[in-house]
Structure 1
Amino acid sequence: LIITAAADIDLAIKDLVKSAFGHAGQKCSAASLAIVEASVYDDPSFRRRLADAVRSQRVGWAEDPATIIGPVISAPTGNLERALTTLEPGETWLVDPKPLDESGRLWSPGVRWDVSPESWFHLTECFGPVLGVMRADNLDHAIELQNAPEYGLTGGIHSLDPREIDTWLERVQVGNAYVNRHITGAVVRRQPFGGWKRSSIGGGAKPGGPGHLSTYGTWRAPQLDPAYARTSFARAWRERFGVESDPSALRSERNILRYRPLDGVLVRMDDSVSEDAREILQAATVMSGTPVMWSLTSQESDEAMAARLGSMSIERLRLLAPASDALLRAAHDAGIAVVTAPVTDEGETELPHWLKEQSVSITRHRHGRLLD
């Protein structure tokens, strides 16, 4: 969660604590890092207010109505144990986490201060009641730090500057993006849920969104018609994929589903793929804005293809030919989703293979007063 100098700091701290320590920080969407702009990070009052907010969280068992932070599911081991007990060079405890009983499952929340870029805690997901705080020179630096981990499920920003928000929304690499609110608690339809990068396996649609049901089957075209495909792609882009939608239409919160181009798609095919199919694939890359690369089985072996997958800037491998286990394993190791669906000439079924979904949730009120 990024906090800039233009944020409502008290609200940012409130949402940060909720995002970091709700469900004892065990949710996959929990905020494990606060990335704070320098002028705020260096302000002693920010440190004091954050520490006070964290220490005020009552830890206990579920039968106690006063409990805010419950137990972890089992006594911490591995990464979580390390995160709760061992600092990295240069770090200090703003709030020192402590075990509260003999079960090992009740821990007071901890805050690691001055987490360094590229450090173990910066790049590791621990899933527990521990938060790291990083210092960013400016918004550009903060976005760079936020995008650095190989995972990209949820992320947020607190800022009252529309220009900062627009910049962040254009560059953040997460599947669920939150503005001026906590980053947990996605709701079906409002915030279809699913990540980018290694927070996603495969190229399917987000659960809770309009495209999810269609992923439970395989679509096949009786015959391929490139002219029809271009018309269908244009219509689907105009009505769905090229526009932002907010079906919930809440006055107090915008909940947008939008589609973004992929970094790239590699199409692996053999001589059985027709010219019509190739023409349709080319039309899809033009409409989506996603770069495409081609690999023919007659010109490149699976072994050669597997050897260079890790160095390619692609997010999906479109297989239109049989593939060896070695090639599939190489794609998995590189974090590349494998798509085996046949080519179709219908925009609603073909274009999703060339795009990724992003849910954006933006608070439209300040303390209950609508902003517009």
Structure 2
Amino acid sequence: AGSTLAALAAGSAVVLKPAALTARCGAVLAEAMWAAGVPRDVLHLVRLADHDLGRQLIADPRVDRVVLTGAYETAELFRSFRPDLPLLAETSGKNAIVVTPSADLDLAVRDVVQSAFGHAGQKCSAASLVILVGSVASSRRFRNQLVDAVTSLPVGRADDPRSRMGPLVEPARGKLLDALTTLGPGESWLVAPQRLDESGQLWSPGVRIGVRPGSRAHLVEFFGPVLSIMTARDLDEAIALQNRVDFGLTAGLHSLDSEEIALWLDRVEAGNLYVNRGITGAIVRRQPFGGWKRSSVGAGFKAGGPNYLVGFGSWEPAPHSPVDETVDGVPALLLDAAGLSEAEREFLRRSFASDARVWRTEFSLARDVSALTAERNLFRYRPVRVHVRLGARGTAVELLRVLGAAARCGASVDVSTTAPLSRETTRVIGPFVTSLAIESDAAWLSRIGRPAPDRIRLIGGDTRALAENLYGRPGTAVYDNRVTESGRLEMLPFLREQSVSITAHRFGTPNHLTDGIV
């Protein structure tokens, strides 16, 4: 519903094609919207029994955006149909909860089990890893409580009110069946999963121990009721194990040590972070949802967040009214670093003032829209490395405008440009520019995929040619909108959104573990 309603809110007509396994859910959604007054010629519901028809639909150039919720492999498939497909996707997750010796072990067990086996583990945010730090790894208390909690889960059909864990959406197969039946080197079952029906849809939950760094159980998303246990000497090692996976959707920490919490929040790589609570069940607006790395395709704007609708339209430049804001730092130096006309200097001055205003009032702040006493819910922005390319159709002043936005965000950038920069400009941007190349469009296209960067800000370049050279790789987000004066738009490519949800009480008594943590 979220993506469908967002597209409608942005003024787009929508073709809603639910997955085959959720066809009735999609039909109910469409019927509710039609009944609410959405015209049928604006919202279309389709079911496609034929794979070729689905391919034709997605590849049709009349489709301006495709919004996907599903596996990363599905995003790769869609891009193979059409390399330049504008794709917004919330994809896979391989999510871990770290438990340190300072944690409340009773609460940690409860949240691990709920996060791992709610919805039979078939939830993109589900916990499939738990990383036990230090003495927790050898704690008989933690292990016994985990076994008791898992083995006492009533498993049954969804229409049985006694069930706490229902069936899989379809019979287990492929990597999930392998995860339910096969152990890797050094692994053993703490709780062995059991097949409970002939169809292969009903399984009891499984917990494996002895999982090694870099193993299949560590890195591969199984999307089912299998929990893998890893161990770490200290929190630093646990964070490294948590960050090693290709995905970054949700991540959890159980700790009652404020220094551990601050360290973890600063270094963990995921879009939704949870402290001393479960890692599933994000609430719209309170915890805007979306991941990092391979858990997101496209611009990475979070569903339920302040920028989600930005990805559902295109933008054209228009002059801003003058903004009464001080321009300082690198942007101020850029104004005098190159031989600019007065019109170009005024364009940059308005742009950089817009950046400064938005940075001061929004992007530099961690906001808590919920304002709850018992739970902190922070929405914040983190700088990210971006490859900036000025193509033959772009101008030097557009490049300076974009670099000023990057500098304001504190982001590091790699720059490729068709025209040399002045010596003074090169000196000014030196502190945050990791690499600088002067090359033709053809030379840049021939090398950009080896390896491809995660984000590209393309100015005056050929988006289709870039997509073909990247072979439609979903892992690269390309921001190719025209350069504007709006700091609200131009700074977004250099920032990643992150939601942080922290339980701020124990058994109803407020605590102050995270006061001052942003």
Q: TM-score, normalised by structure 1?
A: 0.95
State the match for 1:36 in structure 2.
Answer: 132
Between the two proteins, what is the percent identity of the paired residues? 48
Cross-structure match for 1:279: 400
**Aligned counterpart, 1:68:** 164
Q: Secondary structure at the match of 1:309?
A: coil
Q: CA deviation at 1:331?
A: 7.1
Alignment partners' CA distance in 1, 2:376 and 2:356? 26
Give the corresponding residue for 1:353.
493
Matched to 2:455, the amino acid is R
In the alignment, which of 183, 192, 211 is matched to residue 288 of structure 2?
192
Whether the aligned pair in 2 keeps the contact of 1:303 and 1:327 (CA below 8 Å) is: no
Paired position in structure 2 for 1:369: 509
Q: Does the CA-based 8 Å contact 2:390-2:399 persist in structure 1?
A: no
Shift of 1:38: 2.6
| Map of 2:211 onto structure 1 | 115
Which letter maps to 1:267?
V
Partner of 2:234: 138
**Partner-residue secondary structure (3-state), 2:224:** coil
Q: Residue 266 of structure 2 is aligned with which of 158, 164, 170? A: 170
AA aligned opposite 2:251: G
Shift of 1:336: 1.7
Structure 2's unaligned 5+ residue stretches are: 1-96, 320-343, 420-438, 513-518
Corresponding residue of 2:202: 106
- Give me the whole-angstrom Cα distance separating, in 2, the residues matched to 1:255 and 1:366: 16
Code of the aligned partner of 1:291 = S
Residue 198 (structure 1) shift: 0.5
Q: Residue 351 of structure 2 corresponds to which residue in structure 1?
A: 229
The one-letter code matched in structure 2 to 1:54 is: V
Aligned residue among 368, 371, 378 for 1:246: 368
The 5-angstrom pairing of residues 86-101 of structure 1 reads 86-101=182-197
The Cα of 1:308 is off from its aligned counterpart by: 4.5
Quick one: distance in 1 between partners of 2:440 and 2:102? Answer: 53
| Matches of 1:302 and 1:58, distance apart in 2 | 61
- Give the alignment of 1:259-270 within 5 angstroms: 259-262=381-384, 264-270=385-391
Alignment RMSD (CA, Å): 1.7
Shift of 1:275: 2.8
CA offset at residue 366 of structure 1? 0.5
How far, CA to CA, are the matches of 1:23 and 1:55 in structure 2? 16
SS at match of 1:260: strand
Structure 2: how far apart are the matches of 1:340 and 1:265? 13
Check whether the contact 1:310–1:334 (CA below 8 A) recurs between aligned residues.
Answer: no
Alignment check: 8 A CA contact 1:303 1:326 kept: no
Q: Tell me: CA distance 1:86–1:67, structure 2 relative to 1, closer, same or farther (3 Å).
A: same
| Residues 220-274 of structure 1 deviation map (CA, whole Å, 9 limit, x = unaligned) | 2125711011111111011110010011111110100000011x21122223322
Q: Do the aligned partners of 2:292 and 2:300 also contact (CA within 8 Å) in 1?
A: no
Q: How does 1:2-13 map to 2 (within 5 A)?
A: 2-13=98-109
- State which drifts further: 83-92 or 39-48: 39-48
Q: How far 1:347 moved relative to its partner?
A: 1.1
The question of 1:16 aligning with 2:16 is answered no
Which shifted more, 297-306 or 251-260? 297-306
Which deviates the most, 219-228 or 144-153?
219-228
Pair member with larger Rg:
2
- The aligned residue for residue 458 of structure 2 is 319
Where does structure 1 lack aligned partners over 5 or more consecutive residues?
none
> What is the TM-score when the length of structure 2 is the normalising length?
0.69
